[in-house]
A and B are shown apart, each in its own frame.
Chain A
Amino acid sequence: MIINGVTIDATFAEAFPMKGTRAIITAQNEKWAMIAAQAMTGFATSVIACGCEAGIERVLTPDETPDGRPGVAIMIFAMGGKGLAKQLETRAGQCVLTSPTSALFAGIDGGIRIPLGKNLRYFGDGFQTSKVISGKRYWRIPVMDGEFLAEATTGQVDAIGGGNFLVLAQSQPQALAACEAAIEEMKKIPNVIMPFPGGVVRSGSKVGSKYKTLGASTNDAFCPTLKGSTKKTDLSPDIESVMEIVIDGLTKNDIDKAMRVGIQAVCDLGSENGIMRISAGNYGGKLGPFHFHLQEIMA
């Protein structure tokens, strides 16, 4: 398949089941809501070493938030429910509770309930109070700038992590420009995050390493500087840079949509802007049960 001169490989992205949740952070203004959201979703690019994958889903207007203030929706994904709950609580405690004027609310009403402010309340040292409003429990924790308001729980749901596609370009600036265009469009899709810095990862990995202690290592088949030195290069001579976009989402359909708009944005730039191929990372179907076939998505 070729779109606007860009070859879409007959391959698939391989994704795996995760547990996901959403939280809504509000503050006095969008600036401070975003600061808290960025702190909470920091160091959360990959479950390999961060314990979770997290990102900002979108900015919320005051009429979309529970307390009528500007807000940001963030999503966190982890391999299991326990890990997710731990990450959520730690991050909420260190990054949102501490952030001036912030408040924290559930972003998913259904699912299995996991603690959001339920245990953070003990920071109140006995001065904390709860309020049940419209059937939901909120904790009011006295802090030095006033009160930190946090909903007791949020919902944990089944999710999918590791949806991805690779952008293969003639140069590094062209690969990055294409990825930026893709991320811009993908941010408009609800229920997904792209957890890597700016949504783009330049160090895609393969499973395993020659070093026993490492579970993952550089994806040498897509490293342009190794075209002549690795036996299994997947790059033609004209490709000088490869970048990857990884997507976590609540459902397969959400990731499908995000991949479609992202790949389309890349293809819109076309071969005239140095974009040569779109490929995807997979492990022969051994890693995860969710397969996102590029050509089917773009059909």
Chain B
Amino acid sequence: MSALTFTLKTRPDQRVDMSPLVCHSLEKLELTDIAALKLQCGKRKVRVDELFTISGYDNKHIIIKNSFAKLDYIGKDLDGGMIYVEGDAGAYCGMGMKKGAIKVFGNAGIYAGCEMKKGQLEIEGNVGDFLGGALAGNKMGLKGGLILVKGNAGDRVGDHLRRGTILIEGSAGDYCGSRMIAGTIAVMGYTGKFLGHGMRRGTILLWNEPKLSASFNDCGSHTLAFLPMLFNSFSQLHSPFANNENAFNRVQRYAGDMSEIGRGEILVRIVN
């Protein structure tokens, strides 16, 4: 079946709220109905066909072509189906996703995958701050599912992370895993300052030695049985995380943040 494709005609000056264009909302609509939907663009409401050329009919598979960094809320609250973003995605991509998958072939803006509940968000490029985090004032970030970033991530990755997994092939900025409640963040590259700041529980898994705050205590080197199972769960991903050579079970364990309840852990690979 031919995927429902939205091809951006010209780049508007104002940001666009793409949240109406998700699979489950378009399920029972004809192309003419979809074309007549209104999208918020700056302070104006514009018809979908004013911004996009629409083709295809399989609304379980949506392709957004010529996408750029001002298309916000792509896949917001997605409840099944697949969205491919050819180009960059704006802010809040995959926010509150319940089911399904989103793949961004370019970069994504701030708050990607924030407060996501389930499903999979994959970003080929770099991503902005608050990846998988909680919206300002909210207490829970990512609650389930998996986020895979092939590039680098900004600051505050997994802020208030509650459950689920964030995998970053590149590096992460400052305050990675800040205020984590639980869940897993894995960073293959490097991490910035204040790693795990205020984290309560959860695991930050690192391939490279981080700069740790004084509120993390060294628990020694260990072989942990759950790590092979965790890596095994990544085996279906198209990512170095699926590569056996990158898996390990021997780690240096740091407990923290001791200024919080201190049940979190930072596990750093020990190279044999």
Contact = CB atoms under 8 A, between A and B. Distances in A.
Contacts of B163: 132
A144 to B, nearest CB: 13
B29 interface: no
B226 A140 contact: yes
Contact of A67 (B182, B184, B228, B263): B228
Contacts of B229: 66-67, 133, 138
A111 to B, nearest CB: 22
Interface string B156-183: 0000000100000000000000000010
A95 to B, nearest CB: 18
23 contacts: A67-B226, A67-B228, A68-B228, A68-B232, A103-B225, A126-B263, A129-B203, A129-B263, A129-B265, A131-B184, A131-B226, A132-B163, A133-B229, A133-B230, A138-B226, A140-B226, A146-B222, A146-B223, A146-B224, A146-B225, A147-B226, A149-B225, A149-B226
Nearest to A146: B222
**How extensive is the interface on chain B, given as a class?**
10 to 19
Interface of A: 66-69, 103, 126-127, 129-134, 138, 140, 146-147, 149
A134 to B, nearest CB: 4
A67 B223 CA distance: 13
Interface of B: 163, 182, 184, 201, 203, 222-226, 228-230, 232-233, 263, 265
A129 to B, nearest CB: 6
Contacts of B224: 140, 146-147
B203 A131 contact: yes
Contacts of A67: 225-226, 228-229
Q: Which of A66, A133, A146 has the most CB of B within 10 A?
A: A133
Contacts of A149: 225-226
Contacts of B223: 146
A133 B144 CA distance: 11
Nearest to A139: B226
A70 to B, nearest CB: 13
A67 B226 CA distance: 7
A130 B163 CA distance: 11
B253 to A, nearest CB: 10
A129 B228 contact: no
Contacts of A131: 184, 203, 226, 230
A134 B184 CA distance: 13
A283 B175 CA distance: 71
B146 to A, nearest CB: 10
B223 to A, nearest CB: 7
Given A133-B226, A140-B224, 9 more contacts: A67-B228, A129-B203, A130-B182, A131-B230, A132-B163, A133-B229, A133-B233, A146-B223, A149-B226
